């Protein structure tokens, strides 16, 4: 009850699209009864958790922040949601995002932008962005109304807002957590992400949602063990790589200095910290944009206004109905990606763009395979700067550079490896700054242990 009240009170941040008050109250009541009869189901029983609005929730609106799905209530729960409910968690509501998770700001939602909680003045027109696309989930945690939240991560969408909002954000190994019921952006890179105030809370949520699901054919079968709470491990002899290519254009001095400082500290405390090279990092963003647009073109074909989603009034012909429904209900970003993706997939272009991008993706993955010979974990920035001001972020020139926001986060999705963003300190302006740790596939225990060491 108290938590729901807080959710409603923090409306000024626009973190939630839907607050599922009735359902959450019922879940909380059932949890209380279990608690009284000493039958709590797990450490998440009765705990308030928010879910990004691109995960299906049975009979609760799931909009992807788009007019296309404005009135869509799925008939089933995403596996992640079902597992949280099975663990006794209270799902308080659905959080704001960029339309269909395309973006890095949570500024492109039909429900308006989400505001960062840091330095946020309720009466001001300008504010710092929450980052995205899982900005609503990050703010649900950062504002203190939820213990944790579920986001999605295709190119950085969980880690980017976690970094800007000063919470921990985990992108698990691809296939560790089921995508069943997560509305797809790029099937070969999408993973459900976890946001929480600290590493131990992330571990609790990960344990509830991870593990094989026969409804997702890409879900791993060979992982079932529960992670222990991340112990503060000793770091003596731990090999930590600093990939030099992540010191990129637009990286702010403040982030660079902090990266240096933490690397130095880890070295002083016994880790073996050394520079490593990942030469194909520079192609990641361009390669991602080709693969993203191709998969988007294919994934968005399902929205024809017939089975579900927005349907236009124009019924002159079936084609016209499709066209007008899609033209009216998608924003320009979605439309651009569909058009470009279909162009890349034309018979005459397929080899030149899509196939070429797949080859570049392989080179980027090979960089990681090679680097694990020298390093057990990698330490990099998450975002290049502190959270930008909304008025700056939406400037046209900055929008064109938007993809650059994902420079440090995107490669992990190419390779499928786990990565976590950990808040480190506040910038001179009083906004959170974070670093990212990456590890090889299924190295979550070691990754989260180092995260806990530096958090």
Q: Name the residue nearer to ligand GLN (CB basis): 185 or 422.
A: 185
Q: How many CB atoms are located within 10 Å of the residue 298 CB?
A: 16
Smallest distance from ligand GLN to CB 288, Å: 7
What residues contact 391, with CB distance under 8 A and at least 6 apart?
A: 126
Given its phi and psi angles, is residue 175 left (phi above 0), alpha (psi -120 to 50 degrees) or beta? left
Residue identified by tokens 């990606």 is 337
Smallest distance from ligand GLN to CB 135, Å: 11
Nearest CA-CA partner of 256 in 241, 244, 267, 265: 244
Told to check if 154 binds ligand GLN by CB under 6 A, we report yes
* Residue in 44, 49, 101, 408 binding ligand GLN, rule: CB under 6 A: 101
Told to check if 54 binds ligand GLN by CB under 6 A, we report no
Q: Name the residue nearer to ligand GLN (CB basis): 153 or 444.
A: 153
Q: Name the residue nearer to ligand GLN (CB basis): 191 or 446.
A: 191
Told to check if 157 binds ligand GLN by CB under 6 A, we report yes
Task: Tell me which of 104, 109, 133, 204 is the catalytic residue.
Answer: 133
Q: Which stretch binds ligand GLN (CB under 6 A): 69-77, 99-107, 201-209, 443-451?
A: 99-107
Q: Name the residue nearer to ligand GLN (CB basis): 148 or 155.
A: 155
Question: What is the Cα–Cα distance from 171 to 420, expressed in whole angstroms?
Answer: 6
Pick out residues in 402-431 that bind ligand GLN (CB under 6 A): 406
Told to check if 161 binds ligand GLN by CB under 6 A, we report no
Question: What is the Cα–Cα distance from 140 to 92, expressed in whole angstroms?
Answer: 10
Which spans in 14-151 are helix H?
A: 21-36, 79-86, 135-142
Q: Name the residue nearer to ligand GLN (CB basis): 198 or 336.
A: 336
* Residue in 3, 63, 66, 133 binding ligand GLN, rule: CB under 6 A: 133
How far CA 390 is from CA of 131, 245, 387, in Å, comes to 10, 28, 9
Question: What is the Cα–Cα distance from 56 to 383, expressed in whole angstroms?
Answer: 29
Told to check if 53 binds ligand GLN by CB under 6 A, we report no
Task: Tell me which of 52, 94, 115, 171 is the catalytic residue.
Answer: 52
Which spans in 179-283 are helix H?
A: 199-209, 253-268
State yes or no: is 157 an active-site residue: yes
State yes or no: is 104 an active-site residue: no
Q: From the CA atom positions of the chain, what is the Rg in Å?
A: 21
Told to check if 155 binds ligand GLN by CB under 6 A, we report yes
Pick out residues in 266-325 that bind ligand GLN (CB under 6 A): 292
Question: What is the Cα–Cα distance from 437 to 370, expressed in whole angstroms?
Answer: 17
State yes or no: is 26 an active-site residue: no
Q: How many CA atoms lie within 13 A of 226 on its CB side?
A: 10
Answer whether 201's CB lies under 8 Å from 231's CB.
Answer: no
How many residues line the site for ligand GLN (CB under 6 A)? 14
Told to check if 183 binds ligand GLN by CB under 6 A, we report no
Q: Which stretch binds ligand GLN (CB under 6 A): 39-47, 98-106, 220-228, 387-395?
A: 98-106
Structure tokens at 406: 């994902």
Give the residue numbers annotated as catalytic, written as ranges: 52, 133, 157
Q: Which residues bind ligand GLN (CB under 6 A)?
A: 101-104, 133, 152-157, 185, 292, 406
């Amino acid at each position: 009850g108290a938590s729901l009240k807080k959710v409603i009170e923090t409306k000024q941040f626009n973190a939630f699209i839907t607050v599922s008050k009735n359902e959450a109250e019922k879940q909380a009541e059932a949890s209380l009864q279990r608690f009284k009869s000493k039958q709590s189901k797990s450490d998440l029983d009765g705990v308030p958790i928010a879910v990004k609005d691109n995960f299906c929730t049975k009979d609760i609106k799931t909009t992807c922040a788009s007019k296309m799905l404005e009135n869509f209530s799925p008939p089933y729960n995403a596996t992640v949601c079902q597992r949280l409910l099975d663990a006794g968690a209270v799902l308080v509501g659905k959080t704001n995002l960029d339309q269909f998770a395309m973006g890095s700001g949570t500024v492109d939602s039909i429900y308006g932008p989400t505001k960062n909680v840091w330095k946020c003045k309720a009466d001001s027109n300008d504010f710092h962005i929450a980052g995205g696309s899982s900005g609503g989930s990050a703010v649900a945690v950062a504002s203190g109304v939820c213990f944790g939240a579920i986001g999605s991560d295709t190119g950085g969408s969980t880690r980017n807002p976690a970094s800007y909002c000063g919470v921990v954000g985990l992108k698990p190994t691809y296939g560790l957590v089921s995508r069943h019921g997560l509305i797809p952006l790029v099937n070969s890179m999408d993973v459900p992400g976890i946001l929480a105030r600290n590493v131990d809370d992330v571990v609790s949520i990960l344990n509830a949602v991870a593990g094989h699901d026969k409804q997702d054919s890409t879900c791993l079968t060979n992982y079932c063990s529960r992670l222990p709470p991340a112990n503060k491990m000793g770091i003596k002899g731990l090999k930590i790589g600093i990939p030099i290519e992540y010191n990129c254009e637009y990286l702010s001095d403040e982030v660079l200095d902090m990266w240096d400082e933490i690397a130095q500290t880890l070295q002083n405390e016994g880790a073996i910290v050394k520079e490593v090279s990942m030469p194909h990092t520079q192609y990641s963003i361009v390669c991602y944009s080709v693969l993203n647009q191709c998969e988007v073109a294919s994934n968005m074909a399902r929205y024809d206004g017939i089975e579900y989603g927005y349907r236009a009034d124009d019924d002159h012909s079936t084609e016209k109905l499709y066209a007008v429904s899609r033209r009216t209900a998608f924003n320009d970003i979605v439309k651009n990606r569909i058009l470009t993706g279909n162009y890349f997939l034309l018979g005459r272009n397929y080899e030149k763009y899509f196939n070429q991008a797949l080859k570049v993706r392989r080179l980027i993955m090979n960089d990681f395979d090679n680097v694990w010979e020298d390093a057990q974990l990698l330490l990099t920035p998450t975002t290049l700067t502190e959270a930008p001001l909304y008025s700056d972020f939406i400037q046209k020139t900055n929008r064109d550079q938007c993809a650059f926001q994902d420079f440090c986060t995107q490669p992990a999705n190419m390779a499928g490896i786990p990565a976590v963003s950990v808040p480190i300190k506040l910038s001179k302006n009083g906004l959170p700054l974070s670093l990212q740790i990456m590890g090889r596939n299924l190295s979550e225990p070691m990754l989260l242990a180092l995260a806990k060491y530096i958090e």
